[in-house]
Amino acid sequence: MGHGSEDRIEYCVKMLRRKTDAWEIFYSHQNGLSIEAKDGKVDAFKVSSSEGVGLKVLKDKKIGFSFTSALSKDSLNELVENAVAGSLGVESDEFLSLPSPQKKPAGELMLFDSVLDKVTEEDKIKKAISLEQAARGFDPRVTKVRKASYGESCVQSRLVNSTGIDVKKITTFITSSITAVAEDRGDSQMGWDVDMSHFANDVDVVKVGRGAAKRAVDMLGARAIETVKCPVIIENVIVGEFLEILAPSFYADNLSKGKSMLKGKKGKKIFNEKITLCDDGLLPNGWSTSEYDGEGVPRQKTCLIDKGICKKYLYDSYWAKREGKASTGNASRSNFKSISTIGISNLYMEKGETDFEGLLRQMGNGLLITNILGAHTANPITGDFSFGASGLWVEDNKIAYPVRGAAIAGNMLELFSKIDVVGSDLRFLGSVGASSVLISEMEISGAN
């Protein structure tokens, strides 16, 4: 982090000492690169950069916030004045405070790829092109590729507050994603895949390209099925989507406001005993791993569901103080333009011992769900859902044919309570990780 940012922060501090009771300054700088390939050539090459400061102030138990991406002295003066002025028109709140410095967590977190800058632009372009070629070369029925994208970013930040917290962070992010289209005999199907890591060498663009192509080809000739009750395997990426729906129910603010399907469930068995769910902000190489959360509190591992029993919820400093608890280090902050709110770090379901082929063997005949439609329509308070579903019909432990136009409905808590086997194929997409799961009986709504 350059001396310019240090000087700007010190300049703000001098003004704030005279005008506020407490303050928090968050500075961040981000450089990014995005490359898209099409027909073996570069279709888009974008370089981005952003920098700014967010300021939170407390005055007479009132909160004010302001941000700026212009870092001249005049802009910083205006930043302070706007934050202080913003605090005047709000209600006072006795629970407003800033956390104090705490001991730094131990361990290597693996967040920064130091060789990223040494890789040439030509090599990065080759990755995007290889991604597209891998999809196209997988099968002659793959006729189109949409959004063959390779991206990198480096984010640096510093958070300083009036209690003595002063923490810095630098993280690299690498992503690769693609959508492939397969066509055969008038049928057209799409497949998508993605990979992401803090280290470029961990992202296998060829594997991503082939994965998307395979998903598209596998769905060619998909047929409707009749309504049936049968065993179901839900693929890991779809289970991850279900966890994303569930996640906000662990937030202390949602629980307090009655906006959680877990209100009143603490200490009770709500899932199958095979389910253990954790939020781990210190997971090495985790997408949302960091030493400290969005307000400078050390991250930690929190067991939310232990063998089916609801054990803990997630807190930031404000809601911890309000509820008489300790912060779990779950203040989440996306950038300098907003204050932190409660959020997950790395949320995942602990994997089981049965590999994917073992799940197929145990299922025998049934439906492997590989895609759902309408995840955003699930009710976050009751957990009720109704999704379109597609996937692969399995007979005698082997995939028989693709299925489209099905639907599943139910309640998210009930679904997790009915899981019989948790697979060993734990996969993270961003901040959420899950394994494939087997449910011995589920109603699938079909064409009739």
Q: How many CB atoms lie within 10 A of CB 212?
A: 30
> In whole angstroms, how far apart are CA 404 and each of 185, 238, 322, 434, 441?
17, 16, 48, 24, 19
Per-residue confidence (pLDDT) for residue 13, from 0 to 100: 83
pLDDT, averaged per 10 consecutive residues of the chain (448 residues), comes to 67 83 95 96 96 95 95 91 93 96 91 94 96 97 96 96 95 98 96 97 97 98 95 98 97 97 96 97 97 97 98 98 97 94 98 96 95 92 95 94 96 96 97 98 88
Q: What is 111-152 written as a DSSP string?
A: ---TTGGGS-HHHHHHHHHHHHHHHHTT-TTEEEEEEEEEEE
**Residue of 243, 277, 249 lying closest to 381 (CA atoms):** 249
Q: Which two tokens stand for residue 371?
A: 């895609």
C-alpha closest to that of 92 among 66, 63, 64, 65: 63
Q: Residue 132: what pLDDT?
A: 97
What is d(CA 125, CA 122) in angstroms, rounded to the nearest whole number? 5
Tens-place pLDDT, residues 214-244: 999 999 999 999 999 999 999 999 999 999 9
Report pLDDT for 19: 86
Residue with tokens 């991503």: 208
pLDDT at 4: 58
Q: What percent of the chain has pLDDT over 90?
A: 91
- Domains of the chain (ranges, CATH numbers): 3-216 (3.30.2290.10), 222-448 (no CATH)
Residues 6+ apart with CB under 8 A from 69: 50, 51, 52, 336
CA distances from 447 to 186, 228, 367, 407, 444 (A): 21, 10, 15, 9, 10
* Token couple for 1: 């982090």
Q: What is the pLDDT of residues 232-278, one digit of tens each?
A: 999 999 999 999 999 999 999 999 999 999 999 999 999 999 999 99
The pTM assigned to this predicted structure is: 0.95
